[in-house]
Each structure stands twice: as C-alpha cells, then as structure tokens.
Structure 1
Amino acid sequence: MKKILVLIPAFLLAFQISKAQTEKGSQTLGIDLQFMHQKSTQNIFQSSPNPYASEVKNTNFSIGPNYSYFIADKLDIGVNVNYAHTSQNSKNSTYPNNVTSHQYGATLFLRKYFMFGDKLGLRAGPYLGYSRYDFRSVDTSTPTKTDNYTAGATMGLVYYPAKKLGLAATLANFSYSHSKVKADNSQIESTNNVNFNLINNGLLLSVFYVFGGK
C-alpha cells in the first residue's frame, strides 16, 4: 500500500511534465539537421548499339533553426529557416558532369501532437515553404536559379528524454511544389512536382529546447 501511495505522485508528476511540454503557451527553440547520400548506376541506351553505364552520386546536407508556439494543447505553429548544400557527381563514358547547388529557404508549419505516454508520440500537420536554389555545373559557365514554392504535410516521431529537451525525426513527407528556373534573370522553364518521401529518402532530425508555459 505504501508503495502504491509513493508511485501515484510520481505518475502524476510525469503526466504533468508531458502535459507541460505540449500545453498551450509552451514554446520550442531548436535546430534541424539532415544528411543524405545516394549512389545509383544505370545503363544508357541511345542510337548507338552499345549502351554505356552511368554512375550518379548525390550528397545533401542541410541545417537550420526552428521555433514553435503552442496555440492550444498539443497544437503548435512555427517556422524554420534552413541552408542546404547539394552535390551531384555523374560519371560515364560520354557525358561526365558535376553539379553543386546551394539552397536557402523558410517554412511555416502547423502540427498536431498525439502522445502515447509521458515521453513518446507522433506529430503531423501541413506546411507552406519557399526556397531559392543556386545551381552551377562544371560544364556551363552560366549558373541557374530556381524559386521553389511548396505546400505539403509531414508526420514525425517526437521523444522527450528530459523535461526541457525534445528530439524529433520526420517519418513521411507529402508535398506539391511549383518551380521557376531562371538563367541570366530570364525564365527558362516552370515545373510542377508531387513527391512522397519516406524516412529512407533522408532522415531529418530535430533537437529542441522547451520553455514557457506554466
């Protein structure tokens, strides 16, 4: 009986900590990190009877701060800004090519939290984003710029190892994007894309500090 009386306050304290982390008025400030490396090989068939092998390596790294405010219990709104560097190396017998790009962007998001206890849960919601890509290829002296407008929704895992510390990982991302490509301030083309990415397309991790609230 005494053990039960001791455990009840401890359970209530853990519940209050979890509630305080996602209650109205709480705020988070953190950083997003992402790294992805992909390598693929394919055979290219053209008018020539002999195909040639093409090997493509893609490396992407991004980093940026994020901030959110809980406008209601288990519902926050926020913004993140990021910088990303991407390099693509293509090797084949006919058309070797190296491309690098720099991306600067910002995203506004809304997220709903679904907690499975005092530490672990899921969060999901829509977002709107804008980014600017600067591309440069070793095969051309003219860099290109791409303005990218994106709308979509994400779902991620969230974990609180301590009262003021949170960790998160994006599990899935669905997005629609509209892009405008320019060179020498003249528009070259406009494209629209629909994407669905899972965790294996590049793990996006977030570390954040929780403050405010009651």
Structure 2
Amino acid sequence: MPAGASLLSPSQLGGDTFFHERRLRQQGLLRIAGVDEAGRGPLAGPVTAACVILPPDSDFSRWKDSKKLAPARRERLYAELRASEAFIGVGIASVEEIDLLNILQASLLAMRRAVETCANCIEQLPDFLLVDGLFKVPIGLRQLTLVKGESKSASIAAASIVAKVVRDHLMAEYHVQYPQYNLLQHKGYPTQAHRAAIAEHGPSPIHRQSFRGVREFCR
C-alpha cells in the first residue's frame, strides 16, 4: 500500500470504491475485509460492528455508505449480502460494556469481535483489514484506517450496511420491550422526542448511563 493512500479523498479516487482492495490484491492479499460500526451516538442500545469480505465477482458499485441509503434499500442490500458468497462477521458491545469501557473502546471491542466471527466463518484470519475511522482494530492483523471509509471502500460500505441493519433489528426488538421510548422511530439516537421520553419515564436498562442526557436521570 503506497504511503498516504489512507488520505485519498473520494474525489481523488474518482469514485473508485475498489481502489484499495485492488491494490492489496495486486500484492497477493486475497482475504480483504472491510470493518465498520454502527451506534456510537445513540443514548440507548448496543454498538454493533461488521466485518465483510466481498466475493471477487461482486458488483462493488452497489455498496454505498449505509447512512446515504433509505432504510428499505439498506434492507435489500443486506439481504443480498447474506444470500451472496460474502463472508460476514458481526460483533456487539453491550450497554454495560459501553458504560464500563467508554464508547470508543466498546466500538473497537465490537469491531474485534466482528473480525473474529468472520475469521471463524472462513476458518482463518483475513489477510488485511480496511477499517472505517481513525483507530485500528485491536487485533494482530495488518490493516489500514480510512476516514469516511464507507465512501472509499466497497468492503467498508458493505460492512456499514450490515452493522446498521443488525442494530436496527435489535432496536426494533427493544421497542417491543420498552414501547414508551418509541425506539423504532429513532433507534436510540438523541432526538428531542427521545430525550423527552427519558425525562418522563426515566432511563431503561438499555440506556447508556454514562451518556449525557441519560445520567442526569439515573437514580
């Protein structure tokens, strides 16, 4: 990987979201995994992460940053990924772990678990990780961090879709348990309505007690 590759912007890549994967494959690295997380900002629920190794014949232009996709489109792409020959690992860090470790360390823990789960699927470790953000996954593998990686790497974009959809599904389950917070609408993010519900009902067991907006109401 050439020096400074992690600093290339989407415009410099010319929309080529397989640039990094292709360069790595030219070096003989075949099991290239994208890693991303979802749920760092919410006041409630876990943080999820995904590790995805796309099949060589994948249409890499299909995979976009999950935040730029409508929910129905995300769900369709998630289903396509699950039905494809992609290798997928999911990792979760609980609310308790978030409060104990802090959200950054919990996110990295979820990412590590996702990589380990993916490795179990292929019965060997990935050759290389492409990781969204500034921080490397705490695991002994070669890796490259990419700020706004979902727009620079199809593998990271695919991982962002998986992480987001898995978390949305979890929050839908929590909505059934705690309907007073209307989690289905905001997925735990700090909307005005969510903050008002916390103030009215107090935090639930899935609220992050270390977060501002929740800890003020903890007894």
TM-score range (shorter-chain normalised) is: under 0.3
Give 1 or 2: higher strand fraction.
1
Greater RCO structure (CA 8 Å; 6+ sep): 2
When normalised by structure 1's length, the TM-score is 0.26
Structure with larger Rg: 1
Give 1 or 2: higher helix fraction.
2
